[in-house]
Structure 1
């Protein structure tokens, strides 16, 4: 038999197998639409999982199966246990020291020039805030650099701080130059 005949017979066998499996299985039930809200049954929460055990350290000599088994829960949960209702956490960590509210464009959205002016003003304010924050960061990094020199840190670690300070000063100078150029042109 040539390759085409073998390929063709493999396809025929796959189709027959597919038909046998699909024709001998139970037919799928139709989904009935919901008629009214009264027909709905309340959903019960999933069972609670209580495995608050500390994580097991994985030994480098363990097999993958043993490592997985060491992390599987030991205690089986009873399906009749109920989870407490989901509530909002009592504590949300603060992301920023003080939230900055963004100004929203209040003009006519069809006035393209007014929107560009608003965007330019926003960019200028951002750059001004960077200049102020960079100065505080430079001062902090310089004091840490001096402390590192006194402690005798290796030059490679000191160089990282020196490079960060130089990059911040460079960006700060560029933004100051840009803002003074804009002020003289307007």
Structure 2
């Protein structure tokens, strides 16, 4: 058989299948689930694991007494298992924090004014780095000394030494740049 014959047979089969399905009566309909009082509630999986043994229903018990005894058992176990609801100790801020950095207030067409503003921001950033680097260097030096006292390998100590050296170099470079 050639490709043309296969396409024709497939097309006719699809049309036949479609015609049968469109003309046939719908026998199955989805019926909505109705709420009923006699349905038993679904218990969560945490309660199923530690569910009490079933209560035997005696013939002289009425339905209300059986339901009350069953729900009281479930309620007491649920209150023992679940922690009390308390307010969280930390509530994250919903709104975004306002931008604390100063923004350019001048004319955007004045290129030189914008460059001066950018240079001022860069200088402030470098000054903050110099201050923060000094604190970090002090912290790293104390950790390095503790590492030496505890007998850490030289390879781990060298990492701290390299960081201290890099921070000192950058701090010196920024200080000399600031003085010029």
TM-score (norm 1): 0.48
Query: Larger radius of gyration, structure 1 or 2?
Result: 2
TM-score (norm 2): 0.49
